Chains A and B, each alone.
Chain A
């Protein structure tokens, strides 16, 4: 091909690519609308934008008056609803542009509560997405958590992938995309397999947690040959151990995990949005940080 023909071909190809891209990718208005503050302003980077994972399969943005069972507002597969479970005093419900897990109605401090009454902040509250699972793909959720009391044990706020249909309290097969508590500036992540009770675990310190403004976008990419965890668009861990990859349709579970009937700190976990993406386009960045391996038994 002559250089001129090559230029024509490249120009035409680029035009086609741009047009196709414009059709496939959401407009900037759409992204800005449901992504909250642009990443640079909020001090956050969103992996799905940074690595070109859009368009999303589903995007729950909580912009109007959505209930837990309303389908996602955007996405190429606008299906799914959130099944809420509370084993104690907590509730899952829409709140100010997001979905909030709150540990109880009002604030009860531990010193106010007789152990006999068991009426403070206790139990686990979770929502699990039903009807939009995929075995391989990317998932990204932005959330923050904070507390309002200084006594009592802190809740774990957990973003997991679990096989669809898993019981609410079962983590035997799961990918822990991010687990934080409001009292520590650290993010834990990992994966669990019931085969040999294997566990792959990692953590990232120095991540501000525990204030309303400390929102972070946590993401995971699950492929047939690796799992990579992201915090604010940064890969923080990768495992290529295929035993860690469930290989079954996975879905999001978000939890405010307590400790039985123990009185806990009054805690809020506000999820700005929840999104899922397929694997078939965009970049697949990996981290040089591998996860620690060990064992963890979950009785379920």
Chain B
């Protein structure tokens, strides 16, 4: 008996071990193998990791039940795991509605479980926080034009020291949900690579904030924006920084003193060409930007019809202008860093009109044909876009390229002769020749009267 009692005692002593080992094999702590029942919805459906999410639905059976959240990472072999601290209870009807911070992962599944059952799961896509910083300085700096220096958005921006600029913070650069009112701090990097506060504000309804900044230095300055923590209720959204954003303050070059616009070749017609000269360089001038537009001189190269970049003092030969058009020219100084002067030296000049041909004459006159010839104007023939010969009955030649009779086969650009095979014998005609350059026709060069021969 004594021996048996000890045997029983020893078995009893091992019993908890067996129970614990058995439990270890039959149950996965915190997770459930459950039948799907009830319903689950979440609000909001777009949220950040740590943001309060409301879970509502039903466990699928009445009575007050203990419930908890479970997640599944959805990788091969993953199972359902209980989320710590998520235990709640349903109401008497088996319904639930509670808040819990969103897990901050992509492509995980969440469900509400109770003993033996679980709701359908919901695919959780917590949005990673994001914030970008952009710098918007004054004019003549950005936009891809000649005064855009070398900036790269969100990485490095050029500004002008002593001139203010805006630091624009965007907490929704990729369409993230804005959290209106969220605190945002603008920080500047210190010499020891720490961060110091520059300004503070809050996000607007679009998730944006803007800070006016002025630098009195030409030293490179690095900013970042830090979104504040959101911790009200069950929210646990931590603070979040932007990438460092560089600002390179430069000095702006002074305004060039002189701009002089003249004909390119004073001895010949200049319907498309002008020269811009007298563009000196000051201490900060590395290049000059010559910008032009019809009418008034442009106030910004980006708003000009066109521009050219040249060395200071060089004569800029501007081509492809429109004949008989008044142009305004502005010459900006540009520093080696790509910063342009705010103001420019200006001048205005008008191109010459499209020059007409000359010496229109006949080379052969027959009863049914008239052959004409002429001299081209003293310009590069390649400038001529189009030519027209127009005929009128009688001795009053057409005065415009739309007047008189047109021909199915007009002369080619640069031709110096033309034969009209559509005339009648013993009839008097007159002709005009027109030249078009850059869309502008010349005045008429005419042959006042030619009479065809009699029918033999």
A, B: real partners: yes
Known A33-B83, A89-B244: A8·B13 in contact at CB below 8 Å? yes
A-B contacts, 26 listed (Cβ < 8 Å): A4-B10, A7-B14, A18-B16, A19-B16, A22-B20, A28-B30, A29-B82, A30-B30, A30-B84, A38-B77, A65-B51, A65-B102, A65-B230, A66-B104, A68-B239, A85-B194, A89-B155, A89-B243, A89-B244, A90-B243, A93-B240, A94-B238, A94-B240, A105-B155, A113-B152, A118-B156
Among A9-17, A133-141, A197-205, which stretch is in contact with chain B? A9-17
Further 18 A-B residue pairs, CB within 8 A, beyond A19-B20, A63-B49, A65-B238:
A8-B6, A8-B13, A11-B17, A28-B29, A29-B31, A33-B71, A65-B104, A85-B194, A87-B193, A88-B244, A91-B244, A93-B240, A94-B129, A96-B126, A105-B154, A105-B155, A105-B245, A108-B155
Residues in A neighbouring B76, C-beta threshold 8 A: 41
- Judge whether B213 is part of the interface by a CB distance below 8 angstroms: no
Alpha-carbon separation in the docked complex, A30 to B81 (Å): 8
- Judge whether B150 is part of the interface by a CB distance below 8 angstroms: yes
- Judge whether B132 is part of the interface by a CB distance below 8 angstroms: yes
Known A4-B7, A29-B81, A29-B82: A64·B104 in contact at CB below 8 Å? yes
- Judge whether A237 is part of the interface by a CB distance below 8 angstroms: no
Nearest CB on B from A205, distance (A)? 28
Residues in A neighbouring B71, C-beta threshold 8 A: 33
Q: How large is the interface on B (under 10, 10 to 19, 20 to 34, 35 or more residues)?
A: 35 or more
Nearest CB on A from B398, distance (A)? 58
Q: Are B243 and A28 in contact (CB under 8 A)?
A: no
- Judge whether A131 is part of the interface by a CB distance below 8 angstroms: no
Residues in A neighbouring B379, C-beta threshold 8 A: none
How many residues of A are counted as interface, with CB atoms below 8 angstroms from the partner's CB atoms? 60
Q: Are B150 and A119 in contact (CB under 8 A)?
A: yes
Interface digits, B70-83 against A, CB 8 Å rule (1 contact, 0 not)? 01010111110111
Which residues of A are interface residues toward B (Cβ below 8 A)? Answer: 2, 4-5, 7-12, 14-15, 18-19, 22, 27-30, 32-33, 36-38, 41, 62-70, 84-97, 102, 104-106, 108, 113-114, 116-120, 168
Q: Are A29 and B155 in contact (CB under 8 A)?
A: no
- Judge whether B201 is part of the interface by a CB distance below 8 angstroms: no
Nearest CB on B from A142, distance (A)? 14
Nearest CB on B from A7, distance (A)? 4
Interface positions of B from 1 to 49, Cβ below 8 Å from A:
3, 6-7, 9-10, 12-14, 16-17, 20, 28-31, 48-49
Alpha-carbon separation in the docked complex, A114 to B156 (Å): 12
- Judge whether B241 is part of the interface by a CB distance below 8 angstroms: yes
Q: Are B51 and A104 in contact (CB under 8 A)?
A: no
Which residues of B are interface residues toward A (Cβ below 8 A)? Answer: 3, 6-7, 9-10, 12-14, 16-17, 20, 28-31, 48-51, 71, 73, 75-79, 81-84, 101-106, 126, 128-129, 132, 150-152, 154-156, 189, 193-194, 224, 229-230, 235-246
Residues in B neighbouring A7, C-beta threshold 8 A: 10, 13-14
Q: Are A64 and B50 in contact (CB under 8 A)?
A: yes
Which secondary structure characterizes the binding site on chain B? loop
Residues in A neighbouring B17, C-beta threshold 8 A: 11, 14-15, 18
Alpha-carbon separation in the docked complex, A119 to B152 (Å): 7
Alpha-carbon separation in the docked complex, A137 to B83 (Å): 29
Contact of B75 among A18, A41, A84, A116 (CB under 8 A): A41
Residues in A neighbouring B48, C-beta threshold 8 A: 65
- With most chain B CB atoms within 10 A of its CB, the pick from A29, A38, A70, A120 is A29
Q: Are A37 and B77 in contact (CB under 8 A)?
A: yes
Residues in B neighbouring A102, C-beta threshold 8 A: 243
Q: Which residue of A lies closest to B152 (CB)?
A: A119
Alpha-carbon separation in the docked complex, A117 to B105 (Å): 36
Q: Are B104 and A91 in contact (CB under 8 A)?
A: no
Known A67-B240, A104-B243: A11·B14 in contact at CB below 8 Å? yes
Known A8-B10, A65-B129: A91·B243 in contact at CB below 8 Å? yes
Q: Are B50 and A36 in contact (CB under 8 A)?
A: no
Known A27-B29, A33-B83, A88-B244: A11·B13 in contact at CB below 8 Å? yes
